[in-house]
Structures are given as C-alpha cells and as structure tokens.
Chains A and B, each alone.
Chain A
Amino acid sequence: TQLLEQSPQFLSIQEGENLTVYCNSSSVFSSLQWYRQEPGEGPVLLVTVVTGGEVKKLKRLTFQFGDARKDSSLHITAAQPGDTGLYLCAGTNAGGTSYGKLTFGQGTILTVHP
C-alpha cells in the first residue's frame, strides 16, 4: 500500500507570510496532484505534476515534484485569507493499471488571518 504523508497537518499564519506544505512517500508515483477544499465542498484540482523535478506556478502558488517522484511541495507566497482551506496531495501509483485511483495524503488545514 502506497502512503503519502503530508506536513504540517495544521498551519496558522498571518496575511503576507510565506508557507510550504510537504508531501512525502517512500514509494514512486507516476504523477502527483494537489487539491484545495473548502468546508462543505468537494476538493478542486490545483495542479498535476508528472515529471521528476518539475516545477509549476499558479499565481502565488509554486508546486514542485521531487526528482525521484516520491515527494512534492506546495509553496505559497504572501498568503491571503482567501488561501484558507484544506490542501490535499494525491498520487497515482507508478506501474500497472491504476484506473485513475489516487492515494491521498491526510491534508494540511491552512488558516490565514487578516
């Protein structure tokens, strides 16, 4: 069973600060996705990374896939209250037929105070 460990589990910061969320595994993933979820709603995809070492930017969010495709990070610059939510990483198993099944991390609850 492939596991994804996210850290930290909780993050409470002031508006304007920077932060990084980590997603680590001992297993190799063929791709990794990051989702953001608000209370009472389903997760919404932010980004998919598929190549080891890949870096993608989405406005103030920077996503990186580790060279060995076992880990990923999400960095937010100058956080805003609108960034508040649950951030989830999810990986697709490398090799075999995955049928699109994802392994999810336990999530990071981010609170940005004005």
Chain B
Amino acid sequence: SQTIHQWPATLVQPVGSPLSLECTVEGTSNPNLYWYRQAAGRGLQLLFYSVGIGQISSEVPQNLSASRPQDRQFILSSKKLLLSDSGFYLCAWSLLRQGLGSPLHFGNGTRLTVT
C-alpha cells in the first residue's frame, strides 16, 4: 500500500533562518506531488506541484521554493523565512488521471511557526 511521510511535524524557526521540509512517498511510482499551505484550519492554497523529477511548477509568487531530486521525494525550502511564512504545510500525492479528479493523499502536515 502507498504511504506518505512528511517531517518534521512541528517547527519553530526565527525570521531570516532557512527552511527545509521533506516529503517522501512509498508504494507508487511517478506520482504527482504537491505542496499546499493551510491557514488557520481553513482552505488549502496550492504552492507547488510536480509531475516528474526536476519538474516544478509554482502557483503563487512567494518566498519559498520546491525541488524534486528523486521520483518520490519532494522538498519545500526557503533561504530566509518571513513571519508571513507561518502556517500548516501539507504535502500530497496523486496519480494522474486527466479529467477524472485524481484523489489527493495527504501527509499529516508540518506546523511552521516563524518567530
């Protein structure tokens, strides 16, 4: 069966410090991978998605970047964190079935607090 691991679960970082959040998927090949941010237990905002190794698409301009060094590894980074980067970050995977609404499978998220 497929599993998704996301870490760390919580993180407190000072303003200006770097960030690296990691997500790995097991049990499937060539998944689509996504990073979402969720504010205050509300809707999800798509930050980045990837359809293959080294292929990253950014949905919104921001202080963050993403990389996919391996097929089932997705990393969210920042060189210098801002207070506004605080939030709940969720990694997700899906298998592309165009037009049919591939379900997303989410990790348990990382609660990031920038102080």
Size bin of chain A's contact surface: 20 to 34
Is A45 in contact with B103, judged by CB distance below 8 angstroms? yes
Tell me the bound Cα distance from A32 to B100 in angstroms.
Answer: 9
Size bin of chain B's contact surface: 20 to 34
Q: Is the interface of A mostly helix, strand, loop or mixed?
A: strand
Is B46 in contact with A101, judged by CB distance below 8 angstroms? yes
State whether the Cβ of B90 lies closer than 8 Å to any Cβ in chain A.
yes
Is A99 in contact with B96, judged by CB distance below 8 angstroms? yes
State whether the Cβ of A61 lies closer than 8 Å to any Cβ in chain B.
no
Residues on the B chain within 8 Å of A90, using CB: 44, 104
Tell me the bound Cα distance from A35 to B100 in angstroms.
Answer: 16
- Given contacts A40-B108, A41-B109, A86-B41, A32 and B49 within 8 Å (CB-CB): no
- Given contacts A42-B92, A100-B32, A106-B42, A92 and B108 within 8 Å (CB-CB): no
Residues on the B chain within 8 Å of A62, using CB: none
Is B103 in contact with A30, judged by CB distance below 8 angstroms? no
Residues on the B chain within 8 Å of A42, using CB: 90, 92, 106-109
Residues on the B chain within 8 Å of A55, using CB: none
State whether the Cβ of B94 lies closer than 8 Å to any Cβ in chain A.
yes
User: Could you tell me which residues of chain B, from 52 to 103, have a CB within 8 Å of some CB in chain A?
Assistant: 57, 59, 90, 92, 94-103
Binding site for A on B (CB under 8 A): 32, 34, 41-46, 49, 51, 57, 59, 90, 92, 94-109, 111
